[in-house]
Amino acid sequence: MQTRNSRTATPFASGKAPVMLIAVLAIVIALAGSAAFAWRAMGSDSAAECARDLHQISRETFDIDVNATGELEARNQTEIRSQLETPAAIVYVVDEGKMVNKGDLLVELASDSIENQIEDETLRVEEARNNLIAAENAYDIQVSENDAALRQSQLKLELSQIAYDKWNKGDLVKQREQLELAIEKAKRQLDRWTDKYAQSQKLYKSEFLSLDELKQDEIQLLQAKADVKTADRNKWVFETFELDQKFKQLRSDVEEAKAEIERVKQQNASRLASKEADRANRKRTLSIREDRLAKLEEQLKATKMYATTDGLVVYATSTSKGRGMIMMGSSEQIEIGKNVRPNETIIVLPDTSEMVASVRVHESMAGKVHRGQATTVRIDALPNQAFTGKVIDVSVLAESGGWRDPNLREYTVKIGLDADNANMTLKPAMRVEAEIQINQSIDQLAVPLQAIFHEGRIAYVYKEMGGGRFTRTPIKVGERSDTTAQILAGLEEGDSVLLREPSPASIEASEFDPKVIARFYPENEAAPATSQSNGARSLAFTSAAGGDQPAQFVAGSNGHRDGRDRQRSGARGRGDMAAFAKRLVASVEKDDPALAKELREIGALKDKAQQGRRFRELISKHPELMQNIRQSVGGGQGQQDGGQQGRQGHSTPMGGQQD
């Protein structure tokens, strides 16, 4: 028992010694490899690594392309929109992806409300039609009454004129004759009674006549004298007063009859105009009601939408614009029960026989894109195929990046594809990537983009000096593609450059020659657009040392920074949060005092981690603050340090200098 226990306790006796030995050796090798890796990272690059990552400068011919992404869409398509004036729910919709023929029912919207309105409007139309009939009858009656009133006034004028002529030409002569006759008769009676009274006096003296008879004859004589005076007086009164009075009365009657005719005409016109206005109003009311009824009937017809052409059914929410509306929460998927707004696109019927690629090009490159430029299009759904085409249209106005990036501006470019789509291989909304050939660099010195680094606006490469040593060599960059850049100055054919950033120990310390920099980058020359060809420069907000140190901003397409760059940038690369918040306060205080107050509170915090958290929360609540951050990060710091751009920022391969 003791011997068996002794053998069990001995590793070599049990055969486990080789396993343990191998494990120990593996650990030792791993530690040695880690040490070698650490030594290599801190020391010089090996000759094999340098040879593998070197590129020899030569003359090349390459295409200068603009890359853009987008999706396929039909060159010609029919949009089915809601023609209703009010929102309505979908009660039927054809399945998406179905091939339909002209005249097929695509969508039906709820029509209950419209049908009720049609019933009400029909009653209003009948009422308006009856009112119009009554108004027309009243108009006809008024016309008849006007004619009667005018005839009466004209008859009155005629009668008054006849009365005037009758008096002037008949009654006046007759009246004068009667007056003359009365005077003559009175005079003759006077003569007769004068003679008789004289005879009576003689007879009385002869006592043949009594005194009473004599007195009676005397009275008759006095009466005859009075009658002569009365007849003369009547003629005088007639000629002096009555004649003028009669003439004026008759002339007044004529004038009044004439005025009465004018009054009747005016009254007739006024009354007829009132009846005409009422008739026109009734007629217009009926017309409005009939138009309203016809419009409602058209609206009822519009609740059913039919295919105007043959085509493939694509819901509007499946297009890029529709998807964007859904993501922003302003639209819903097309389905039964969904409320459709007036003029909202519901279905698109694309003519898939001719497809185009609709891509978006950044505004910095849009000016180089023109109609007719050759293009290569690759479709994600068909990864092994490339389609050729040409630019057929460039939008006039840029579109914003929406709520994701309101500062982004892109132009829509339409690319016509040469491929025939008779077999329906290409479908709308397929994602595409397009390479638009805007130029070609022919037989020019060229270098891969990953070999180019930037410090401020100065582009440079790591040129091989031999023995695994490299020096920073400024260059002047011309046009570029996504992989290659044209070298205008700074390198010669046959020079070798490193395609990556070397270790600090492999770099020969040297400053840029001011004369070379002045020749390559004159003061009046704009800084080269380094990252615009790949899109807008990205901006990331990070926290140094796991959030325990002040916040740090890193910009550019790459974030590499060697030890020498870190020492040169120092606190400027990391920045002090209090100072940074102070700069932001100055930029927003005028427009948003409340935001400026929050920034001051953040700058006053002593806990750097809390300071970073508060700042990130503030950015999430105020996205517009990112624009101020870009402006503050992109400039300002270098001016404070005396304008020495070579010592202000860190170097990033093909990225922009960052303070």
Please report, for the domain that includes residue 358, its CATH number: 2.40.30.170
How close are the terminal C-alpha atoms of the chain, in Å?
78
What is the domain count for the chain? 4
Domain shared by 292 and 158, yes or no: yes
Tens of pLDDT, residues 428-455: 888 999 999 888 888 889 999 889 998 8
Phi-psi region of 430 (alpha: psi -120 to 50; beta: other; left: phi over 0): beta
- Residue (of 463, 383, 457, 481) closest to 645 by Cα position: 457
Would you place residue 167 in the very low, low, confident or very high pLDDT band (cuts 50, 70, 90)?
A: confident
Residue 564 included in any domain: yes
| Residues 358 and 245 grouped into a single domain | no
Beta-bridge mates of residue 189: none
Instruction: Look at residues 520, 545, 569 and tell me which one is the last residue of a structural domain.
Output: 520
Instruction: For 395-467, list the strands marked E by DSSP.
Output: 399-401, 405-417, 431-448, 453-455, 458-466
**What does DSSP assign to residue 45?**
P
**pLDDT greater than 50 at residue 1:** no
Same domain, 434 and 479: no
Residue 315 sits in the same domain as residue 357 = yes
d(CA 96, CA 81): 16
Angle between the N-to-C axes of helices 608-621 and 593-604, in degrees from 0 to 180, rounded to the nearest 10: 160
Q: Which residue has the tokens 């097929």?
A: 104
* Structural domain contains residue 149: yes
Quote the pLDDT of residue 505: 83
**pLDDT grade for 334, boundaries at 50, 70 and 90:** confident
Query: Any residues with CB less than 8 A from the CB of 118 and at least 6 apart, and which?
Result: 293, 296, 297, 300
| Mean pLDDT calculated for residue range 654-658 | 37
Task: Please state, for a pLDDT cut of 90, what percent of the chain lies above it.
Answer: 35
Is residue 7 in a domain? Answer: no
Tokens at residue 563, please? 């030890």
Residue 269 lies in a domain: yes
Structural domain including 156 reads 114-302
The more confident residue out of 496 and 591 is 496
- pLDDT at position 9 is 38
Per-residue model confidence (pLDDT) at position 52? 79
284 φψ region: left (φ > 0), alpha (ψ -120 to 50), beta (else): alpha
Question: Does some domain include residue 22?
Answer: no
Considering the domain boundaries, does residue 527 fall inside one? Answer: no
In the chain, the amino acid numbered 328 is: M
Of 488, 520, 552, which residue constitutes the final position of a domain? 520
My answer on whether 463 and 506 are in the same domain is yes
CA-based R_g, the chain, Å: 58
- Are residues 546 and 510 located together in one domain of the fold? no
Boundary of a domain, candidates 302, 330, 359: 302
Does residue 298 sit in the same domain as residue 314?
Answer: no
Kindly list the distances between the CA atom of residue 563 and the CA atoms of 56, 420, 566, 568, in Å, as whole numbers in the listed order. 27, 56, 5, 9
Phi–psi pair at 364, nearest 5 degrees: -70, -25
Q: Are residues 143 and 283 in the same domain?
A: yes
Angle at 505 between CA 500 and CA 510, to 5 degrees: 85
Cβ partners under 8 Å of residue 528, min gap 6: 457, 459, 477
CB 352 within 8 A of CB 84: no
Residues 385, 378: Cα–Cα separation, whole Å: 7
pLDDT digits (tens, 9 = 90+) for 92-136: 999 998 889 999 999 999 999 999 999 999 999 999 999 999 999
Q: Kindly report, residue by residue over 6-62, the tens digit of the pLDDT.
A: 333 333 333 444 445 455 455 545 554 544 444 444 445 566 666 778 998 999 888
- Please tell me whether residues 421 and 468 are part of one structural domain: no
Looking at the chain, the whole-number percentage of residues with pLDDT higher than 70 is 74
pLDDT category, 511, cuts 50, 70, 90?
A: confident
User: How far is the C-alpha of 426 from the C-alpha of 351, rounded, in Å?
Assistant: 11
pTM of the model: 0.46
Tell me the average pLDDT across 574-581: 56
Confidence at residue 631, expressed as pLDDT on a 0 to 100 scale: 53
Phi, psi of 39 (to 5 degrees): -65, -40
- Give the chain's mean pLDDT: 77
**Looking at residue 283, which CATH number applies to its domain?**
1.10.287
Instruction: Specify whether 355 is located in the same domain as 211.
Output: no
The answer to whether residues 165 and 151 belong to one domain is yes
pLDDT in tens, 602-621: 877 777 667 777 777 777 66
Evaluate whether residue 511 is within a structural domain.
yes
**Three-state secondary structure call for residue 55:** strand
**610 in a domain, yes or no?**
yes
* pLDDT surpasses 60 at 84: yes
Contacts by 30-34, CB closer than 8 A, 24 or more apart: none
For residue 547, what are its two tokens? 């959030």
Other CB atoms within a 10 A radius of the CB of residue 366 amount to 19
Please give the pLDDT value at position 302: 94
State the pLDDT at residue 25. Answer: 55
Distance CA 499, CA 453 (A): 10
Q: Which of 342, 348, 339, 341 is nearest to 307 (CA)?
A: 348
One domain, residues 224 and 335? no
Higher pLDDT, residue 324 or 265 = 265
